[in-house]
Amino acid sequence: MFEDLQHSTLGYLFGITVFLLVLRFLYSSFSYQEQREPPGPRRLPLFGNLFQVDLKRLDRSLFELSKTYGPVFQVHFGFKKVVVLAGYRAVKEALVNHAEEFGNREITPVFHDFAKGHGILFSNGDSWREMRRFALTTLKDFGMGKKMTEEIIDEECQHLVKEFELFEGKAFSNTQAINYATANVIAATVFGKRFDYKDLNFQAMVERDNKIIHLTGTASLLIYNFFPWLGPFLKNWKNLMKYVEDGKADTRKIIEELKKSLDPDTCRCFIDAFLIRKKHLEDSGVENPYFHDDNLLYSVTNLFAAGNDTTGNTLKWCLLYMAKYPHIQEQVQEELSTVVGNRQIRVEDRKNLPYADAVIHESQRLANIAPIAIPHATSKDVTFQGYFIQGGTTVFPLLTSVLYDGTEWENPYSFNPSHFLDSEGKFSRREAFLPFSAGRRVCPGESLARMELFIFFTSLLQRFRFTPSPGTSEDELDLAPVVGFTLSPKPQKLCALLRN
């Protein structure tokens, strides 16, 4: 009888438990459905909205969808739900005003393949905070945005000018020379040295990083992010992994060489600073969960690749626009002749060169080299502009929609330096100018990139006039980009004619 009573009680309790669990599930489902999710196009089973977008220009497809569904909407790629932020107001409100909620990085399968959660760009939590803080402090210590870095850029600019002079005004592709110049600026800080443009190992490093960044944005790698099991069957994924592994091997060699000659009293570069901090923590017996070899390796590869590709591509766009719009180039050069003459250009000249500054900014805006910011993820549940977004949701800040926002820019699809000039011809900052993104994940090298672009661009235009190759008119220059993770100009030959 006691056993029967015991079984009866257990059965009763089990039934109550199941009943309560069902009620909780129904309540949770009801409550979740009560929340207003962002709108979006109807999706297909398994594939979601993949057939409603062009993966070769995903930013444009999403921008078009925003015109139907508004500044905050959702799409599904396979089983992956993505919330898209479109237009200046939505992007700024999310990344700046709700920086904590939208401040995580979405670690896609390909980003995990890159860094395994280490480094600066593709990490989260305390490790990311520590690495980003250390990187910003170290770059500042090495003069990022200061006189020391200006001298490095000036020196590299002279090498780039000499490279252009070798062609004696004949048509040539400036792609490699510009890539090497911008890579050398970040190399001086990260590795403590510059490389000769003819150094085969250096050439391989730069070319490999550019290929990695290009492949990451191709349609097949986007599909891999949504269906990771396809990786071994995708040629681009196999090529990407080979480039990544080769890049890590070369970086490890440089790190090991610097380790052998490390002097704790003489800090030569970012790698030295990291190694000195690591040794200090170990000698002090302080717990050190962040300063380890993996974080060093991936932080270095993050800084070198990102610092090279984005600045190099922007400078190439600047020169292409000058060849395309010679009347604008003439105005820049008239201003340079009046204000600077033949002396060496300094960063402090920027305030007296408003038109040149406006042209650089307009080149960045129209080139739109990073059309979708590196994906974010919500750190927790958030209600944003009246919509409920679950924690852990992937978020695409659509920078294309910011830089081409018709409510912010008078002529969003035209090259118009007046976007950055006031009625008196003075330079005018625009809040909707966000090529470096915004908030917690804003590009850590923004000040370095701005300094590089100004010195390289103005120095080159001080020395040369850029024209299409003989037999090619300005109208025939192609402004359609090569699409990868960033948008680069198609390799086209220009002439760099010496100015009197």
Annotation: binding site for heme? 443
Q: Which residues are annotated as a binding site?
A: 443
- Tell the residue number behind the tokens 């959702």, with chain if given: 74
**β-strand partners of 464:** 498
DSSP code, position 48: B
Q: What are the Cα distances from residue 302, in Å, to 125, 263, 315, 322, 343?
A: 17, 25, 20, 31, 36
Conformational region of residue 382, where left means phi above 0, alpha means psi within -120 to 50, and beta covers everything else:
beta
Rounded to 5°, angle at Cα 115 from 114 and 116:
115
Beta strand 72-77 with 80-86: parallel, antiparallel or unpaired? Answer: antiparallel
Q: 177 and 163 in contact (C-beta within 8 Å)?
A: yes
Let me know if 277 is exposed, middle or buried by CB neighbors in 10 A (0-12, 13-18, 19+). Answer: middle
Give the CA dihedral 260, 266, 267, 273, nearest 10 degrees. Answer: 70
User: For residue 305, what are the contacts with CB-CB under 8 A and spacing of at least 6?
Assistant: 209, 212, 213, 247
Task: Specify the 3-state DSSP secondary structure of 453.
Answer: helix
Let me know if 137 is exposed, middle or buried by CB neighbors in 10 A (0-12, 13-18, 19+). Answer: exposed
Side-chain-side CA neighbours of residue 393 (13 Å): 26
- What is the C-alpha to C-alpha distance for residues 364 and 415, in angstroms, rounded to an integer? 10
Q: 346 and 416 in contact (C-beta within 8 Å)?
A: no
The count of other CB atoms within 10 Å of the CB of residue 230 is: 14
Q: 467 and 323 in contact (C-beta within 8 Å)?
A: yes
